[in-house]
């Protein structure tokens, strides 16, 4: 809910409040009254609360994780035995393309966005992100883009060119269905979501920090998420150019990648990997941040070499731009490496081990923060062990399979070329398939843990892990306004230093607990700010986002849909611009009473 | 970085004072920010940084393909340097009028703000009209969008820029309307400054495109 009304007497020093002149018109701006619901689906659809948006990001990302996981399951079933018949060659191509696309763009990136959205404002002591409406916009654009991309399954077949969609294989003669069109347009839409999110979160980190929260006092997750957003800011426009050229090639007969027209298909590879290499860090850095957040808490020590870790993360952010060509082994740029066939599955292995496990660590660590209850530890252990065993069973054999010469994208392998003994392809393919299903069971345990077991869990203590960072200095789950009093930060690991006092002398440190987190939170409540300003919900983000896939369908099917979609986007933009930054009394239904005791102010968006 | 560290604690005192100013917004949107730069301005700079790479990709594509004209006409047969120089000059002048609009907005002079915003939009419109005329002429001379790699990459690059200018014109005209009806939410001078940042950026990109595409011989 947008407004926080707090009795004026909760604090001794109340700043004088000037009320704006009373407004009688209920729609003196824009076209619609502001949404005000605090319950039901409307409270989610029109929300601008970074915590609700973070949860929605997480739920949708998990949904696409299931979709991508089922696609992986089908791929491995097809390859489990010789001459598999589960999928046709065509469906197999679509499956591996959409599996990778879904996992990268619709699971790992939005899942990282979920954590970043939820925890960056909390970790830096802010009430929300810098641009709450734009935050909602990036979520809805991502969701509609992901749905748009996946409707290709029902409209003639999905993209089938592999997730890096090399030219000229991506051109109409080689991929005549609309799959690649859906892919190119869908990723442009999700790219808009990433770009808007990046601008918003970078501004938030740079500008919305609580007093005393200098850059080098920021929790490490916020740092890594910040570097990730910087990478996105500069990587997304490059892939956007590539996708645009591809769209014009396929939909409007340009020849940017046609060899027969004298084009260099390598242009695609350069543009793609200038984006793609930073993308690898975009995928893993948030997880590095989560792991670096979790380990110190459970080791009961500060993060070793915090400064070094921060600068390493920032260095990755720079160096990641110079090395894209190492993805182009087979392009003729340099010596062709035979090892490429084993490097590729290794890369998936690293991404899965580096990114996915880190994200799950974040789930378990922050679950009580977000939902007020811990997840079951015993189910969690089963979840972890099955995932780690399944992951190694799945990706380990692929190194052998690759060295034995089975290309990644052949939809069948044959018994008579499978080899013998330890290096028999058949055995290792079967092991990899079994591994995948172990992995799927492991992930299923997480869902059971999160949805059913979770209900029986007792309410978690306020500080279940003896945590160190600022997001814990509030209730579980946090109130809509995050902090009762805007915290003033004095140290890295602020919450730890509020709980513990250093009684060591000279260079030796000895920490003695002086207070519990419950006491600290009570203290904050007692000294709550009198007037808390929160952004009000808005219709326009979801409306604007809705126009984009309509335009994209128009590019594929019929031009008037482009016009319709653009009209929705423009109308929403004007509604957005005309919606005042301040919610007025008349915006609320029933109209909120004016007076000295309440304040309803919005962030200036 | 160190001045950020030193800067932050001052906000402690500021905070209570912030609440008094809730109807209107001060120079920084009425909200204290860690860098002292308003959120909107920072975000606009970030967006423009991102746009640099967008145009960087498009310009690279053009530079790669500009000598691949197939059997179609080549740049020296097509370019009308005096004409494009004139339309470039018009666009450059629009940056001057934009500065005048921003300056008038800083003085809270609505009348002149709107005057200069309108002039800027008209100059931008002239530029776009010139581009439409130029495209039509090139098309008549045999340079269709799909005729050669040179043609596709030329139209894509300059077309992208033209769309940016057109969006800028819509922003300018919308701002004129909102200033006239006093419907700008937030800080008026800053809103106009934001439009100005975008407009200057689009201008600078055109200087690069004009130099690389028209002036340097292929």
Question: What is the 3-class SS of A39-105, one letter each residue?
Answer: CHHHHHHCCCCHHHHHHHHHHHHHHHHHHHHHHHHHHHHHHHCCCCCCCCHHHHHHHHHHHHHHHHH
Residues on chain A touching B146 (C-beta within 8 angstroms):
252-255
| Residues paired with residue A501 on neighbouring β-strands, in sequence order | A512
- Positive/negative CA dihedral, A544, A546, A552, A553: negative
Query: What is the total count of domains within chain B?
Result: 2
Residue of A nearest to B12 (CA): A211
Indicate whether B208 and B100 sit together in one domain.
Answer: yes
**Are A65 and A41 in contact, with CB atoms under 8 Å apart?**
no
pLDDT at residue number A605: 34
Q: Looking at the complex, does the CB of residue A245 fall below 8 Å from at least one CB of chain B?
A: yes
Taking the C-alpha atoms of residue A47 and residue A135, their distance in angstroms, rounded to an integer, is: 10
Q: What is the pLDDT of residue A348?
A: 63
Question: How high is the ipTM of this complex?
Answer: 0.88
Cis peptide before A554 (omega within 30 of 0): no
CA–CA distance from B97 to each of A526, A530, B121, B200 (Å)? 54, 45, 9, 11
DSSP A512: E
Closest CA to A3 of A34, A24, A31: A34
Q: Is B118 found in the same domain as B15? A: no
Please say whether the dihedral angle defined by the alpha carbons of residues A493, A498, A499 and A501, taken in this order, is positive or negative: positive
User: Which pTM was predicted?
Assistant: 0.89
Is B42 found in the same domain as B13?
no
Would you say A473 and A524 are in contact if contact means Cβ atoms under 8 Å apart?
yes
**Are residues B62 and B111 located together in one domain of the fold?**
yes
User: Taking CB atoms and an 8 Å limit, are A242 and B57 in contact across chains?
Assistant: yes
> Helices A109-123 and A220-251, interaxial angle, to 10°?
140
What is the span of the domain harbouring residue B45? 38-215
Q: Which positions ≥6 away from A492 have C-beta within 8 Å?
A: A216, A217, A219, A302, A306
Q: Please, which pLDDT band fits residue B30 given cuts at 50, 70 and 90?
A: very low
A-B C-beta contacts closer than 8 Å: 168
Residues of B in contact with A279 (CB under 8 A): none
A131 to B49: CB separation less than 8 angstroms, yes or no: no
- Cis peptide bond upstream of A590, omega within 30: yes
Integer CA distances (angstroms), A281 to A36, A129, A221, in order:
39, 23, 14
Q: How many CA atoms lie within 13 A of A319 on its CB side?
A: 7
What does chain B come to in residues? 218
Give per-residue pLDDT as tens, B74-131.
888 899 999 999 999 999 999 999 999 999 999 999 999 999 999 999 999 999 999 9
A577 vs B65: CB contact, 8 Å cut-off?
Answer: no
Q: Which of A390, A428, A435 is nearest to A406 (CA)?
A: A428
Same domain, B15 and B109: no
pLDDT at residue A415, as a whole number? 85
Q: Which chain A residues touch B11 with a CB distance below 8 Å?
A: 210-211
User: How deeply is A35 buried, as exposed, middle or buried, from its count of CB atoms within 10 A (0-12, 13-18, 19+)?
Assistant: buried
pLDDT at residue number A334: 52
Q: How many CB atoms lie within 10 A of CB A296?
A: 21
Average pLDDT over residues B145-167: 95
Give pLDDT, residue A583. Answer: 63
Q: In which region does residue A421 sit, left (phi positive, over 0), alpha (psi from -120 to 50) or beta (all else)?
A: left
Cβ neighbors of B61 (< 8 A, separation 6 or more) are A241, A245, A256, A267, B153, B156, B157
**Successive 10-residue mean pLDDT values, chain A, 605 residues:** 40 37 40 71 90 97 96 94 93 95 95 96 94 95 97 95 91 94 97 97 95 95 96 96 96 92 92 90 92 94 92 86 71 49 54 84 96 94 96 89 82 85 89 95 95 90 94 93 92 94 87 92 88 80 96 95 96 86 54 42 36
Q: Residue A546 to residues A135, A158, A296, A556: CA-CA distances in angstroms?
A: 15, 21, 42, 17
Provide, as residue numbers in chain A, all residues whose Cβ is less than 8 Å from the Cβ of B43. Answer: 130-131, 199-200, 203
β-pairing, A511-513 with A500-502? antiparallel
Partners of B31 on chain A (C-beta within 8 Å) are: 603-604
Chain A residue numbers touching B4 (CB-CB < 8 A)? 214-215
Q: Say how many CA atoms lie within 13 Å of A202 toward its Cβ.
A: 24
**Nearest CA distance, A19 vs chain B (angstrom):** 7
Sign of CA dihedral A472, A475, A477, A478: negative
Residues of chain A contacting residue B156, judged by C-beta atoms under 8 Å apart = 244-245, 248, 254
Same domain membership, residue B124 and residue B92: yes
| CB of A394 closer than 8 Å to CB of A439 | yes
| Helix, coil or strand: residue A542 | helix
Please, which residues bridge with residue A459 across strands?
Answer: A373
Task: Specify the CATH number for the domain of residue B180.
Answer: 1.20.120.80
**What is the pLDDT at residue A532?**
74
Residues B12 and B68 in one domain: no
Mark whether B129 and B158 lie in a shared domain: yes
Closest Cβ–Cβ partner in B47, B49, B152 for A254? B152
Q: What is the pLDDT of residue A581?
A: 56
* Count helices and strands in chain B by DSSP H and E runs: 8, 0
Are B19 and B53 contained in the same domain?
no
What is the three-class DSSP state of A230?
Answer: helix
CA distance B100 to chain A (A): 23
| Mean pLDDT of the region B18-31 | 37
Q: Do A547 and A506 touch, CB atoms closer than 8 A?
A: no
Contact A174, A159 (CB under 8 A): no
The span from the CA of A74 to the CA of A91, in Å, is 10
**Min Cα–Cα distance to chain A from B104, Å:** 22
User: Which residues make beta-bridge pairs with A598?
Assistant: A5
CA distances to A147, A151, A157, A304, A561 from A552, in Å: 12, 12, 16, 48, 8
CB-count burial class (<10 Å; 0-12, 13-18, 19+) for B103? middle
Cis geometry, peptide bond prior to residue A168 (ω within 30 degrees of 0): yes
Q: Are residues B65 and B31 in the same domain?
A: no
Interface of A with B in 515-574 (CB under 8 A): 529-531, 533, 574
Q: What are the CA-CA distances from residue A589 to residues A38, A537, A592 (Å)?
A: 11, 13, 7
**Same structural domain, B49 and B156:** yes
Contact criterion met (CB < 8 Å) for B156 and A248: yes
pLDDT for position A590: 46
Q: Are both B29 and B71 inside the same structural domain?
A: no
Q: Which residues contact A512 (CB under 8 A, 6 or more apart)?
A: A500, A501, A503
Angstrom CA distances, A313 to A222, A230, A286, A307, B1, stand at 11, 11, 10, 10, 17
């Amino acid at each position: 809910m947008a407004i926080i009304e707090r009795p004026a007497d909760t604090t001794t020093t109340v700043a004088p409040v000037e009320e704006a002149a009373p407004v009688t018109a209920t729609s003196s701006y824009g076209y619609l009254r502001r949404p005000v619901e605090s319950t039901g689906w409307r409270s989610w659809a029109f929300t601008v609360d970074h915590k609700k948006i973070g949860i929605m990001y997480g739920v949708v990302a998990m949904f696409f994780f299931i979709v991508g996981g089922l696609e992986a399951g089908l791929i491995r079933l097809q390859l489990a035995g010789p001459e598999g018949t589960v999928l046709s060659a065509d469906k197999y191509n679509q499956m591996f393309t959409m599996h990778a696309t879904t996992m990268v763009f619709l699971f790992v990136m939005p899942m990282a966005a979920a954590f970043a959205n939820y925890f960056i404002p909390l970790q830096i002591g802010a009430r929300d992100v810098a641009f709450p409406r734009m935050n909602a916009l990036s979520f809805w654009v991502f969701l509609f883009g992901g749905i748009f991309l996946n409707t290709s399954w029902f409209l003639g077949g999905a993209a089938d060119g592999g997730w890096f969609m090399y030219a000229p294989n991506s051109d109409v003669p080689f991929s005549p269905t609309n799959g690649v069109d859906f892919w190119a347009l869908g990723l442009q839409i999700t790219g808009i979501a990433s770009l808007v999110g990046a601008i918003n979160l970078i501004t938030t980190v740079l500008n919305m920090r609580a007093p005393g929260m200098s850059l080098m006092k920021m929790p490490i997750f916020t740092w890594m998420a910040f570097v990730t957003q910087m990478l996105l800011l500069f990587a997304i426009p490059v892939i956007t150019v590539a996708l645009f050229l591809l769209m014009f090639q396929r939909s409007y007969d340009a020849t940017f990648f046609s060899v027969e027209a004298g084009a260099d298909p390598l242009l695609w590879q350069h543009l793609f990997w200038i984006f793609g290499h930073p993308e690898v860090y975009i995928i893993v850095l948030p997880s590095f941040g989560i792991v670096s957040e979790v380990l110190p808490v459970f080791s009961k020590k500060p993060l070793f070499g915090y400064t070094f870790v921060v600068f390493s993360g920032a260095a990755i952010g720079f160096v990641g731009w110079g090395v894209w060509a190492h993805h182009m082994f087979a392009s003729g740029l340099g010596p062709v490496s035979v090892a490429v066939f084993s490097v590729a599955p290794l890369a998936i292995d690293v991404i899965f081990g580096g990114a996915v496990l880190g994200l799950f660590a974040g789930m378990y660590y922050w679950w009580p923060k977000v939902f007020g209850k811990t997840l079951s530890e015993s189910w969690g252990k089963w979840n972890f062990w099955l995932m780690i065993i399944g992951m190694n069973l799945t990706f380990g054999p692929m190194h052998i399979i690759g060295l034995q010469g089975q290309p990644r994208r052949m939809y069948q392998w044959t018994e008579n070329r499978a080899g013998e003994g330890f290096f028999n392809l058949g055995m290792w393919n079967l092991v990899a398939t079994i591994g995948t299903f172990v992995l799927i069971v492991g992930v299923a345990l997480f869902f059971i843990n999160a949805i059913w077991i979770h209900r029986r869990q007792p309410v978690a203590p306020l500080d279940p892990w003896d945590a160190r960072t600022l997001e814990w200095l509030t209730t579980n789950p946090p109130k809509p306004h995050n902090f009762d009093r805007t915290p003033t930060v004095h140290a890295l690991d602020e919450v730890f230093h509020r709980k513990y006092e250093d009684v060591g002398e000279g260079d030796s440190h000895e920490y003695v607990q002086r207070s519990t987190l419950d006491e600290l939170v009570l203290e904050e409540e007692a000294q709550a700010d009198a007037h808390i300003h929160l952004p009000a919900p808005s219709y326009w983000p979801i409306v604007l986002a809705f126009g984009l896939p309509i335009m994209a369908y128009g590019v594929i099917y019929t031009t008037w849909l482009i016009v319709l979609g653009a009209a929705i986007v423009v109308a929403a933009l004007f509604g957005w611009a005309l919606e005042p930054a301040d919610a007025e009394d008349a915006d609320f239904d029933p109209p909120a009473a004016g007076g000295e005791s309440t304040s309803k102010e919005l962030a200036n968006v | 970085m160190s001045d950020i560290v030193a800067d932050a604690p001052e906000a402690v005192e500021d905070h209570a004072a912030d609440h008094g100013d809730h109807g209107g917004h001060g120079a920084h949107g009425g909200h204290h920010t860690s860098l002292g730069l308003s959120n909107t301005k920072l975000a606009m700079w970030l967006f423009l940084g991102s746009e640099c790479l967008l145009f960087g990709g498009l310009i690279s594509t053009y530079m790669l393909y500009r000598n691949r004209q197939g059997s179609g006409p080549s740049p020296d047969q097509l370019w009308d340097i005096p004409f494009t120089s004139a339309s470039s000059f018009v666009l450059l002048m629009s940056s001057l009028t934009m500065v005048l609009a921003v300056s008038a907005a800083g003085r809270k002079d609505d009348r002149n703000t709107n005057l200069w915003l309108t002039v800027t939009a008209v100059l931008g419109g002239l530029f776009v009209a010139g581009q439409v005329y130029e495209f039509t002429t090139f098309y008549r001379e045999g340079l269709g969008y799909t005729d050669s790699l040179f043609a596709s990459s030329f139209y894509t690059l300059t077309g992208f820029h033209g769309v940016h200018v057109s969006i800028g014109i819509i922003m300018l005209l919308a701002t004129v309307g909102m200033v006239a009806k006093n419907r700008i939410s937030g800080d008026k001078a800053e809103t106009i400054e934001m439009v100005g940042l975008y407009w200057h950026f689009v201008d600078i990109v055109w200087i690069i495109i004009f130099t690389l595409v028209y002036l340097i011989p292929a």
